[in-house]
Amino acid sequence: MTATTIDPLTVEPRDGSESSEKRVLLLKPRGFCAGVVRAIDIVKIALETFGAPIYVRKEIVHNRFVVNELAEKGAIFVDEIDQVPEGMRVIYSAHGVSPAVRQHSKDLNLKVIDATCPLVTKVHVEAVKFAKQGYSLVLVGHRDHDEIEGTFGEAPDVTQIVSSAKEVENLKVPDPNRVAYLTQTTLSLDEARDIIHALKEKFPNIIGPHSQDICYATENRQTAVKNVAHNADLVLVVGSNNSSNSNRLVEVSRNLGTNGYLIDNSEAIDPAWLETVSTVAITAGASAPEILVEDVVNYLRQKGFGSVEEVEVMPENVRFGLPPEIVQAIASAPVSAPASV
């Protein structure tokens, strides 16, 4: 791979005739975000510190490879809290949980470790605040997503979910002057903007969060695709089917007129996609590990894509601290004896 990071503006356009070499543009930032790194670290540290089994409610992050790897180390993934035996240790996934799930864990006397991403927690706090202030809440997001289930659960009596600008038309609230909106963290920026615009048309006095709920990682990965898609014939997004932010990256590319596919790994690539293609851009959703990106790059090399250039659209250096349960566990773990020399 080309070692230097290059400016997206210097990438040769796809209709340029200076080079006939098939090439890969590797977008940056891509892959793991700070919330995913933190969630995976929490499961690994919990397994090392407390030993297996450790229960995890739902997929810790939406990636099959990651989940399988942690399951091999002793994590037991369950869909619901009542599948965890009483008194055992359970980790909540990065997507967060509703208060009902927290209460259920208490009832079962479970030892809880919370791996909810701090940026999802921010949205929960906003939901509670708006509900307490007497607002009707419109939650913009995908109904079947774990994150929306958790956020909705903070104030179910006053919250309605909308997934499209069309659905805004049907909203009914007790007082159109006391309406607030929040969004899922992993939406398409463009789609969210359209839905929020529709909400503002319908409820001119609607209020929203102080800063947008769509997280930095979602925004940065979409911006990278927007900057580079026009220079590629095909965009491959490494990520699992149930990963919201990964699906949005495919949509962003297709909306710009560049064909895009979501792939779990190189085995999902249909060789026919590459037939008339000379430049492939690769990115990865926030829950997709770099090892799967490398697998895709290696596959493309074998298919004759000899040049691999990394295109850094913006720097990204976000890190989140570990939750107190894990910090305490590390602090009280026995210090291992120094290795003899």
Query: What sign has the CA pseudo-torsion 289, 290, 295, 300?
Result: positive
Residue (273 or 320) nearer to ligand SF4, CB: 320
Q: Is 196 in the site for ligand SF4 (CB under 6 A)?
A: no
**Of the listed pieces 167-175, 200-208, 214-222, 271-279, which binds ligand SF4 according to CB under 6 A?**
214-222
Q: How many CB atoms lie within 10 A of CB 331?
A: 7
In the stretch 218-237, what mask flags binding to ligand SF4 with x, by CB under 6 A?
Answer: x-------------------
189-202 helix and 244-255 helix, angle to the nearest 10 degrees: 90
Tokens of 307: 């040049």
Residue (36 or 90) nearer to ligand SF4, CB: 36
What is the nearest approach in angstroms of ligand SF4 to the Cβ of residue 117?
Answer: 3
Query: What sign has the CA pseudo-torsion 82, 84, 87, 93?
Result: negative
Q: Which of residues 95-134 bind ligand SF4 (CB under 6 A)?
A: 117, 119-120
Residue (14 or 145) nearer to ligand SF4, CB: 145
Tokens of 1: 């791979």
Tokens of 21: 């070499």
Give yes or no for a cis peptide into 29 (omega within 30° of 0): yes
The β-bridge relationship of strands 259-263 and 234-238 is parallel
Q: Is 91 in the site for ligand SF4 (CB under 6 A)?
A: no
In the stretch 254-293, what mask flags binding to ligand SF4 with x, by CB under 6 A?
Answer: --------------------------------x-------
Residue (39 or 168) nearer to ligand SF4, CB: 39
Beta bridge partners of 77: 56
What is the nearest approach in angstroms of ligand SF4 to the Cβ of residue 246?
Answer: 10
Beta strand extents in the chain (DSSP E only): 23-28, 54-57, 75-78, 89-92, 111-114, 136-140, 159-162, 179-183, 234-238, 259-263, 279-284, 307-312
Active site residues: 147
The residue ranges that bind ligand SF4 (CB under 6 A) are 33-36, 94, 117, 119-120, 185-186, 215, 217-218, 245, 286
Binding residues for dimethylallyl diphosphate: 62, 95, 145, 243-245, 287
Binding residues: 33, 62, 95, 117, 145, 185, 215, 243-245, 287
